[in-house]
Amino acid sequence: MATVYYAFDAGTGDASLVRAASFANSEAREAAFRAVLGAQVSSTESFESITIGTLTPIALNFGAFGTATLNGIGFVDGFAGGATNLVGRYAHAVSGGRYFDTASLFSITFSRTLTAIGFYAIDLGDFGGSLTLEFKRNGAQVDFLTVPHSVGGGGAAPEGGSMAYVGVTTTVQFDEVVFGNTLGGFDVFGFDDFIVGGDVELPYADVPASCVGLVPQGPSQSCGITVPVVASTVYSIVSQSYTGATSTCGHSLMNNPATGSQC
């Protein structure tokens, strides 16, 4: 099940050649979304370090949250100051002038599992289609949603040239997000200031589905996952990765790095 955080700042139409007058609603929603994620949020991918004109695949790096590859239809574009691409698209200027320009048909694969994504969407919904997000894990769909954003037509205001923020949290882990559109990619929009979220308390690859719910057997799961030693006296396995796991003494799995004991 997914929860969507969305806000919208009206544009003046593609033909006006100017950006939305204010980003206040979108930026307030981003702040609220980040507050929900707390410390479990990555750095922001603003595309500022990527050369304008770069085509997919594009490598992304989210530090402790792993790496990612952006695939599909699109390229990095950018404009200085308050300029647009003349048809309603531009960057979220707070982070710079570059963004990913896409026909709503792209995907992002991640090196580890996550439970949240957030991004700015510029000029979204101005040709009658709605953005869709398909969440996958190991190639199989685990969630799907149609983003409930404002929809118009013909590049006209208020959708044309608009700024929106979309944040999504899921109750399931995913390692890929496929972006689509109810009109099959007809609605081109700008994608910017992308963040991801999840639990990164432990420095190892996420637990495979085969391990979820198993009772731990000492420092290693019976399915072959080894609990790493970290530089602290006691640490716990995060519930997102080991749902339902308990130790032999009835507590949530706790391991002492020195002894490997569970309690």
pLDDT tens digits for range 152-177: 999 999 999 999 999 999 999 999 99
Q: Do both 77 and 122 map to the same domain? A: yes
Q: Do both 184 and 209 map to the same domain? A: no
Amino acid identity of 67? T
Q: Do both 46 and 148 map to the same domain? A: yes
pLDDT tens digits for range 223-242: 444 433 333 323 233 333 33
pLDDT at 252 over 60: no
CA-CA distance, 256 to 262, in Å (whole number)?
7
pLDDT at 251 over 70: no
Tell me the average pLDDT across 22-31. 96
The residue from 197, 213, 230 where one domain ends is 197
| E strand residue ranges, the chain | 2-9, 58-61, 67-78, 98-122, 131-137, 140-146, 163-181, 189-197, 235-236, 254-255
Q: Which tokens go with 218? A: 């000492």
CA-CA distance, 59 to 130, in Å (whole number)?
27
Indicate the pTM of the whole model.
Answer: 0.76
Question: In the prediction, which pLDDT does 16 show?
Answer: 86
CA triplet 214, 219, 220: central angle to 5 degrees?
Answer: 50
Q: Do both 59 and 9 map to the same domain? A: yes
Q: Do both 207 and 192 map to the same domain? A: no
Contact 219, 183 (CB under 8 A): no
Q: Do both 87 and 169 map to the same domain? A: yes
Contact 187, 154 (CB under 8 A): no
Q: Do both 168 and 217 map to the same domain? A: no
Query: At which residue do the structure tokens 């308390």 appear?
Result: 201
The residue from 176, 197, 218 where one domain ends is 197
Q: Whole-number mean pLDDT of the chain? A: 81
Q: Do both 63 and 142 map to the same domain? A: yes
Q: Do both 122 and 231 map to the same domain? A: no
User: What CATH number is given to the structural domain containing 70?
Assistant: 2.60.120
Domain residues for the domain of 208 are 203-263
- pLDDT grade for 185, boundaries at 50, 70 and 90: low
Q: Do both 135 and 236 map to the same domain? A: no
The residue from 175, 197, 219 where one domain ends is 197
Give the total number of structural domains in the chain.
Answer: 2
Q: Do both 149 and 245 map to the same domain? A: no
Question: In the prediction, which pLDDT does 25 show?
Answer: 97
Q: Do both 186 and 219 map to the same domain? A: no
CB atoms within 10 A of CB 143: 17
pLDDT tens digits for range 56-112: 999 999 999 999 999 999 999 999 877 888 899 999 988 899 999 998 899 999 999
